[in-house]
Amino acid sequence: MVAVGQCIIRFHRNSETDANELHVDHADPYVHIATEVIDKAIFHPDDMFWVDFSAQQTCFDDHEHDKAACFALRSVLHIKGVNREVLYRITPHPDRADVYQGHWPD
């Protein structure tokens, strides 16, 4: 079993530009990523959080599940801070519905 670590990020308002900036303070190679973060990166991407899809399964609105589940198979979450960019390959957690597994791509 792989030890699960942390990815610690924070937002900071730049006083010179008045823009919100994302800082990646720490990133371990294996983490759990909250479903809300995945949803944001998929459905409301921006220049700080987005997902690249290598394969998307076909989904229809006639079944119930977390919508992100249709997109997370073999996908990469990008977290781009002003100081560091972190990539996590995301997969559904086998035992939990509130998080995804994330690990650094090979």
pLDDT digit string, tens, across residues 21-70? 999 999 999 999 998 888 888 888 999 999 887 655 555 555 555 555 56
Listed in sequence order, the residues at least 6 apart from 53 whose beta carbon sits closer than 8 Å to its beta carbon are 71, 74, 75
User: Helix, strand, or coil here: 54?
Assistant: coil
Per-residue model confidence as pLDDT tens digits over 62-97: 555 555 556 555 689 999 999 999 999 988 888 888
| Dihedral-angle region of residue 46 (phi above 0 means left; psi in -120 to 50 means alpha; beta otherwise) | beta
Domain locations along the chain? 7-103
Per-residue confidence (pLDDT) for residue 55, from 0 to 100: 55
Q: What is the CA radius of gyration of the chain?
A: 15
Query: In the numeric block, which tokens belong to residue 59?
Result: 């989904």
Per-residue confidence (pLDDT) for residue 9, from 0 to 100: 94
Q: Which residue has the higher pLDDT, 65 or 7?
A: 7
